[in-house]
Every structure is written in C-alpha cells, then in structure tokens.
Amino acid sequence: MGNIKYEDQSISSLKFSVDGPADEIEEAWEDYFDERYDLKLDKLDKDRGSIAYRNENATLTLLTSKPVTLYSKVAEIEGGAQISVAMTDANGAYTETNNATAMLAVRAMIEDFKNRFYTDYFDEQLEDARKELEDARDDSQDDTKDAERARKKIEKYRDKIADYEKKIQDLRDEVGDELLSAEEEAARAARIEDKIREIQVRRARYLGQ
C-alpha cells in the first residue's frame, strides 16, 4: 500500500499493475464496477495519462457492510496501467491495519478484475487471430498464385493462437491461486476477529468488567 493523490487528497491505497492497452484497461475498470456492483464510476479528474474516480456513499456489499467513499485511479505506465484503489468513511481511510478483512476482500476483487480483463483481452486477440486465419485459408483456396504466402500466414496465425491460449491458461492459473489465497486470508481474518470478541466476552465475565 502507499499514498496516492486524488485531486487534492492523499489517501492510503492499494496499487496494482495490469498489462495491456491503457485505454482498454480504463474502460474495463469502469465496466467492471458497472457490471459487478451496479456502480457507475464518477470521474474526479483526468490528467494526461491518468484518470481518477470518486464515488461517495458507495454500497459495495461484497467488500464491506458499510457505505464508503470509493476512490480509484487508472494511470498509464509502460506496457499497461497502474490502478490504485482506496476506501474511506467517517473514521478515515481503510488500511490493512484498521480494516484487515475489508482490505483482503479488496485484494480478492482486484484479482477478480485482472482475471476478467485478461480473459476478455486475450479472447478478443484469439478471435482476431482466428478471423485472420480464416482469411488466410480463403486466400489459399481462392488464389493459387499466392498459395505459398497464404500457407505462411496460416502457420503464423496458428502459432499466435497457440501462444494466446497458453497465456490465457497461465494467467487463469496464476490469478486463480491468488484469488483463492486472498479469500482464505479473508476467512482466516474473520475467524480471528470472532476469537478476539469471544476472548473479550470471557475476560469481561471473569473480571466483572
């Protein structure tokens, strides 16, 4: 975590990077909240290469039971984008110290977003490659003079498809492991919180407090 500036405020935030075209990542980030949380992200400001959002009284039941102010920023970096996420309420910013369970849920949300983005992104790349492959096959059938050129294109796009399929599987395996770990840690934190409350009750019972 680290402090990120949203307009005139510096807030403790989770940061993560996503590989791919920055404009597509930005669009996917907005779509994710619209589809997953029925929340339209409100644009706070837009600088060259970055855009910030702020949603007050946001209801994110999968992350926290209380309404929060949600901040996020998508900033272009080499080869992709860095996304920052922060939540605040009347008591201040959520951190992994004062709201461990909620922040673990945010980490799980981040992995879910990355999984969805990479799946959609590479599926689109696959579809484009398959269309090009189909065009190449048509070329090989329709134009005997260009048969050798078409054959080389077919081999090229077959290789591209195999590469994208491998990338999708690798990313799904990686994100799946991280998402499972985040969910397990969130459950563990919840169990520890229950244990603390139980100890506090027992302490009060025995000490008469």
Domain that holds residue 172: 116-207
Number of H helices, E strands in the chain: 3, 7
Same domain, 93 and 129: no
Domain containing residue 88: CATH number: 3.30.530
Determine, yes or no, domain membership for 105.
Answer: no
Give the pLDDT confidence of 66-122 residue by residue, as tens digits.
Answer: 889 999 999 999 999 999 999 998 888 999 888 888 889 899 999 999 999 999 888
Give the pLDDT confidence of 142-164 residue by residue, as tens digits.
Answer: 666 666 777 788 888 888 888 88
First to last CA, the chain: 38
Same domain, 90 and 134: no
Contacts for 192 with CB less than 8 Å, ≥ 6 apart:
none
Same domain, 92 and 16: yes
Q: Please give the structure tokens belonging to residue 66.
A: 């209380």
Give 10's DSSP letter.
E
Specify the pairing of strand 43-47 against strand 50-58: antiparallel
Contact 103, 14 (CB under 8 A): yes
pLDDT at 195: 73
Determine, yes or no, domain membership for 57.
Answer: yes
Give 41's DSSP letter.
P
Quick check: pTM over 0.75?
no
Determine, yes or no, domain membership for 27.
Answer: yes
How many Å apart are CA 69 and CA 71, to the nearest integer? 7
